[in-house]
Amino acid sequence: MNEKILDIKKTVFELADEYPEIKEILKNLGFESITNPVMLKTAAKVMTIPKAAKMKGIELNTIVEKFRENGFTVINADTL
């Protein structure tokens, strides 16, 4: 099995393209608009997870931990 490496500096669109399962993880964290195909093809192309977390008032550490619980190795989170 390949390691799932999530570069948190990439856009949500890039990450969802690489790992479609992150859409469900993000939705469960409160980012409901990720399931809207129009939002995914527009706003998600410029939005990063840290920017989205700030907009929603969700701690980035909470998001990173949830990805880790789902088998992802999160990189670049410590440089933000």
- At 28, which CATH number? 1.10.3910.10
Q: Write down the pTM of the prediction.
A: 0.90
Task: Yes or no: say if 36 and 44 are a contact pair by the CB < 8 Å rule.
Answer: no
Residue pLDDT, tens place only, 19-73: 999 999 999 999 999 999 999 999 999 999 999 999 999 999 999 999 999 999 9
In the 3-class helix/strand/coil scheme, how is 41-75 assigned residue by residue? Answer: HCHHHCCEHHHHHHHHCCCHHHHHHHHHHCCEEEE
Domain limits for position 70: 4-79
Domain count, the chain: 1
Phi, psi of 30 (to 5 degrees): 115, 5
